Amino acid sequence: MTPTEKLRQLSFTLPPAPQPAGSYVPAKTVGNLVFCSGVISQRDGELITGTVGQDAKGSHARSLSDAVAAARECALLQLANLSAHLGSLDKVTGIVSLSGYVQCTAEFHDQPTVLNGASDLFVQVFGDAGAHTRAAVGCVSLPRNALVELSLIASIEA
């Protein structure tokens, strides 16, 4: 089953690929690797903002499940980036590496759990080829108050 077919089977629809918010390109191919710039958490064009952690306060406090869902939305945005860059998601042979950033309080230590929202989706879509290396980092601040940011490296057909 191709990645595109697998997404359909899982009832996921790719969002439009996000446009760069600065002086960079969304994706760049070097050899058989595609390096994807970071995308921030959003759904249906609306930012998913806030801070996760026990001491997060007010309207910007988010739950662990909110953060996991935000990471999954970032993964879908990265798949949209890959599809737009390559012309088809089916040219992706695997996910090599993932770097994820979670806006959180100093006491929050579940960044790996948050990033599982993205990692699990990549494995669902690509099978064993979706397994990847990963960094899960907590941050006090992300661009535009985003809850999660995600960058990745994918492999493609040679």
Which residue, chain included where needed, has tokens 């969304």?
26
Please give the pLDDT value at position 56.
74
60 secondary structure, DSSP code: G
> What's the CA gap between 54 and 92, in Å, rounded?
38
- Per-residue model confidence as pLDDT tens digits over 23-50: 999 999 999 999 999 999 999 999 999 9
Domain segments of the chain as ranges: 3-7+26-152
Measured CA angle at 116 (ends 105, 65), to 5 deg: 55
What's the pTM? 0.96
The CB-side HSE value for 40 (13 A sphere, CA atoms) comes to 17
Q: Are 133 and 101 in contact (CB under 8 A)?
A: no
Please give the pLDDT value at position 58.
74
According to CATH, the superfamily of the domain at 3-7+26-152 is RutC-like (3.30.1330.40)
- Per-residue model confidence as pLDDT tens digits over 93-105: 999 999 999 999 9
Please give the pLDDT value at position 17.
96
